Amino acid sequence: MATSRKHQARALSTDERELVDKTHHPALQELSDQELSQLTGLVRERRDRAQTEAFRQRREMRGKAEAKGARAAAGNTGTVLKGDVLAKAMRRLNAETERRRSLIANTTLVANAQKALEMKQAHEMHEPSFNSRTARDGMRNTPNTLGPDLLRPRERGRLRKANAVSQARRDARPS
């Protein structure tokens, strides 16, 4: 479910709010790669801390853990909301990182393909070297040492089938 900026502002501290504001669209694409990785680390750290705190508060409410303060936590909705907001910010950061990675991969692929095409075209313009595996003027025609085939292919097939039928009859005979 989408959370409004008003709810985000209530759940986050001022420095966390600044971090989350950097993860929204126009500001996110203006970040350099180094700033993006630093921001990812900071937001991940804050998200993990908020999720751990929400988990601890939930255990306090159930009575499974000692109270951190003077008394046990009565609710953890604010901490859960903070964790959700920071998790959504992490998703945006991860999506931007993946978008940049795939963009670099695609441009690299295109550059490599163009380089390979240029190399191929440059190679085709020159004469092939003597060590290539193609036939040139020096190859001699080797005559066929077998004589001409005097049997028609249809006759050969008929004989093969007749032989198979007679073999099947012999195999089917009782011993």
In a domain, 93, yes or no: yes
Instruction: Read off the pLDDT of each residue in 106-119 and give the average, rounded to a whole number.
Output: 95
More confident residue, 138 or 48: 48
Number of structural domains (the chain) is 1
DSSP string for residues in 82-149: HHHHHHHHHHHHHHHHHHHHHHHHHHHHHHHHHHHHHHHHHHHHSPPPTTSSS--TT--PPPP-SPPP
Domain with 35 in it: 5-125
In a domain, 43, yes or no: yes
Q: Which helix (H) or strand (E) holds 68?
A: none
Contact 73, 60 (CB under 8 A): yes
In a domain, 153, yes or no: no
What are 146-174's pLDDT values in tens digits?
888 888 999 999 999 999 999 999 999 98
From CA 146, how far away is CA 149, in angstroms rounded? 8
Q: What's the whole-model pTM score?
A: 0.63
In a domain, 133, yes or no: no
More confident residue, 135 or 114: 114
In a domain, 90, yes or no: yes
In a domain, 22, yes or no: yes
In the block, which residue shows the tokens 């908020």?
A: 50
In a domain, 174, yes or no: no
Looking at residue 32, what is its pLDDT? Answer: 94
In a domain, 130, yes or no: no
